[in-house]
Structure 1
Amino acid sequence: MTPFLRPLLAVLCAGVLAACNDDPDPYQTLDGNQTMVVGHRGASGTLPEHTLEAYQRAIDQGADAIEPDLIATKDGVLIARHDPNLAYSTNVASIAKFADRKRTDYLVDGEKQTGWFAHDFTLAEIRELGAIATDADRPQQYNGQYKVPTFQEIVDLAKTQSTKLGRGIAIYPETKNPTFHRDLGLALEPKLAATLNAAGWNSKTAPVFVQSFEPSSLKQMRTLGLNVRMVQLIDADWYDYKTGKLSYAAPWDRPYDWTKAGDTRLYSVMVTPAGLAEIKTYADGIGPWKPYIIPMKGEYDAAGNMKDLNGDGVADLRDASSQPATTLIADAHKAGLFVHAYTFRNEGKRLAFDHKGDPKAEYLQYYRLGLDGLFSDFPDTAIAARAAYAKELGH
């Protein structure tokens, strides 16, 4: 606010408003708006993930968008599951009639897995399964109660709730293991594009963000004529608490389409200026794992052992501390890319030592950096922290 306007504003406000604030500080996001909150697999911290009930809970908690990971059934229907292996997130192992569908040492993106896989089941058979919580520390009483939804049902939910609530609810689908599905003859991209076209959601202004870890998947959807906002996901294996850097090991070292093509680059190349420029040619934003933005580092003793700062007998993330932020957000914004980071969770085991057990402290770190969006298992906590940050800025 210019100085000569302050006295005039004081006069205008006096006796009219109880309080009259100066102009609020701006958000540092690419578009100048507050950070978008995405319900990660729905409100998956409280209800079994990727169910209509979890998505509805996220919407009720104020999420701006809901995220379905998409895989395909035997009859080519897109459903919401994080993994092709249904053993991780459904009660399929307890259903006797499906015992003979179990596969052993089955390769998914080069990783051997044992379990039951969605492409061996029709949608009608998938409907017989119940979703279960994938984290043993989260509520288990809902296991088996909720069904696996189709992508179309999630689109319908977002549309219905947007109309009912008078606010836009975006969807944020991910093509999960797209090369794996393409090799099975169950390509995800044409089905996803067809669903969005039928919904009338094929434009940059549609309430849609499409994401993938595999660049070829995003590029193929562009070739198919999909014009929605697209996001390149960026992964890593784990934290290197000694150096504050990230570690890289298969299958989290590089996109699987790169592995299959013999491209030996790591995900880390994507966060360089050159990598960001390459991403800009086919996507609108990046979705990095959050330590690409705020690294984590531990303290080590003379013997080279990480110190157990909280005294719980184990040296892990809870004993690591946030380091100064990297320039990734600024670099991405300079390249014209927004940044949506994942994944924010409430549990103490997911928080660094300096967060002191308070998930809102972590959110505030990222909001203050100008993060454009984030994925949260607990959208209500993310929304509450966002409100606190808005108040901090004077909004």
Structure 2
Amino acid sequence: MNTRITLAAVALSAAATTLVPAPSLAAAEPSTPLVAEPIVIGHRGASGYRPEHTLAAYKLAIQQGADYIEPDLVSTRDGVLVARHENEISGTTDVADHPEFADRRTTKLIDGRPVTGWFTEDFTYRELKTLHAKERLPQVRPDNTAYDGEFKVPTLDQVLELAVRKGVGVYPETKHPSYFDSIGLSLEEPLVAALQAHDLDDADDEVVIQSFEVGNLKELDEVVDVDLAQLVDASGGPADLPGTTYASMVSAEGLAEVATYADGLGANKFLVLRRGTTEPTTLVDDAHAEGLVVHIWTLRRENQFMDGRFKVGTDPDAPGDMAAETRAFLDAGVDGMFADHPDVAVAARDAWLG
């Protein structure tokens, strides 16, 4: 099943709207999804079962029924887009075990925050190919460490080839786009070129580009016809708009502005169902009123990532009731869900659909 996220009949105003502080996220009656069949996005692949952002993780997500797979995109020094959660790769590769790259360990300011480690932009793709992926959360997912060293870092082209071959959608995220712009490695042009090369750049193609920043989504809105999703977190704000908060962006006025350049909202799940509550906030209804679909992130099986009412037992790494959590968000009207364990989300979604 592959479901488009846009509503073709919705007319959106092109006029900019000033962002204002958000009202409190008050409880609302359960909403209805804008789409007939809410989608499941394999978050970095089936990252609950395989090291994230590997072809093995993406393949397993597809086998488990995910409608889309999600590559986070960063750039190498020679401009090759690769799938990594961050441009700092000490937690997701064996780079620290390569003495030939020891002198590349450094500290950089990324989105205003100092980060120490090894960075993709300091490696050519040929050099990056000598590294192997490893589990990012070994204490939480020790079974995944059995695959450490087996898989390489995939390129965007490899992920797109897999998606086309298997007939699933692709949901790429541009990571730190303004930072990469600042070092002369813009992400948008090679992303659009790759989509064009794989004939995935039309409005009816099952591609959604997402970003926590705003400027690059507005730029992409001018040059590509695929769907765009504005990511919003429960705190902070876009790195490229100092002074703007995500709270202001999910106000009624803020959502109207988002709808001038994006088709959907990728929301921290606790913006829809607050911790310790059973009633949804008004966010889904407010977004739907602007023609924006709502995809929440991230559903994970382990207790520590869930609200208390879905936990089972006291072990933070033990499985909670992810199926119940999935149903709760579907009842709240969301149009899609990012999941580390796509099989659980797909089964719960299909049962919910009846």
TM-score norm. by structure 1 comes to 0.78
Residue 88 of structure 1 aligns to a residue whose secondary structure is coil
Residue 214 of structure 1: how far off its partner (Å) = 0.5
Give the aligned partner of residue 21 of structure 1: none
Give the aligned partner of residue 380 of structure 1: 343
Residue 348 of structure 1: how far off its partner (Å) = 1.4
**Paired letter, 1:362:** E
Cα shift readout 1:355-382 (whole Å, capped 9, x = no counterpart)? 1421111101011122101100000000
**Paired letter, 2:90:** A
Greater Cα radius of gyration, structure 1 or 2: 1
Q: How does 1:156-235 map to 2 (within 5 A)?
A: 156-162=161-167, 169-223=168-222, 225-235=223-233
> Unaligned 5+ residue runs, structure 2?
1-30, 313-320
> Unaligned 5+ residue runs, structure 1?
1-26, 163-168, 237-247, 297-320
Give the aligned partner of residue 354 of structure 1: 309
Residue 202 of structure 1: how far off its partner (Å) = 1.6
Give the aligned partner of residue 105 of structure 2: 102
Q: Distance in 2 between matches of 1:339 and 1:86?
A: 30
Give the aligned partner of residue 30 of structure 1: 34
Closer/same/farther in 2, CA of residues 295 and 102 from structure 1, 3 Å limit = same
Q: Distance in 2 between matches of 1:39 and 1:222?
A: 24
Q: How does 1:78-117 map to 2 (within 5 A)?
A: 78-104=81-107, 106-117=108-119
Q: What is the aligned counterpart of 2:160 among 155, 163, 187?
A: 155
Residue 295 of structure 1: how far off its partner (Å) = 0.6
Q: What is the aligned counterpart of 2:281 among 326, 329, 332?
A: 326
Closer/same/farther in 2, CA of residues 356 and 113 from structure 1, 3 Å limit = closer
Residue 179 of structure 1: how far off its partner (Å) = 0.5
TM-score norm. by structure 2 comes to 0.87
**Paired letter, 1:206:** D
Give the aligned partner of residue 256 of structure 1: 239
Q: What is the aligned counterpart of 1:278 among 247, 257, 276?
A: 257
Q: How does 1:137-152 map to 2 (within 5 A)?
A: 137-138=140-141, 139-152=144-157
Residue 193 of structure 1: how far off its partner (Å) = 0.7
Residue 190 of structure 1: how far off its partner (Å) = 0.6
Q: What is the aligned counterpart of 1:344 among 291, 299, 312?
A: 299
**Paired letter, 2:252:** P
Q: Which has the higher contact order (CA 8 A, sep 6+)?
A: 2
Q: Distance in 1 between matches of 2:225 and 2:89?
A: 31
Residue 65 of structure 2 is aligned to residue 62 of structure 1:
yes
Q: Distance in 2 between matches of 1:352 and 1:375?
A: 16
* Kept after mapping to 1: 8 A contact 2:67/2:169: yes
Q: Distance in 2 between matches of 1:266 and 1:56?
A: 36
Residue 268 of structure 2 is aligned to residue 289 of structure 1:
yes
Q: Distance in 1 between matches of 2:188 and 2:148?
A: 31
Q: Distance in 1 between matches of 2:123 and 2:101?
A: 9
Residue 154 of structure 1 aligns to a residue whose secondary structure is helix
Q: Distance in 2 between matches of 1:326 and 1:53?
A: 37
Residue 112 of structure 1 aligns to a residue whose secondary structure is strand
Q: How many residues align?
A: 313
Residue 323 of structure 1: how far off its partner (Å) = 4.0
Give the aligned partner of residue 313 of structure 1: none
Residue 70 of structure 1 aligns to a residue whose secondary structure is strand
Q: Distance in 1 between matches of 2:297 and 2:84?
A: 17
**Paired letter, 2:83:** A
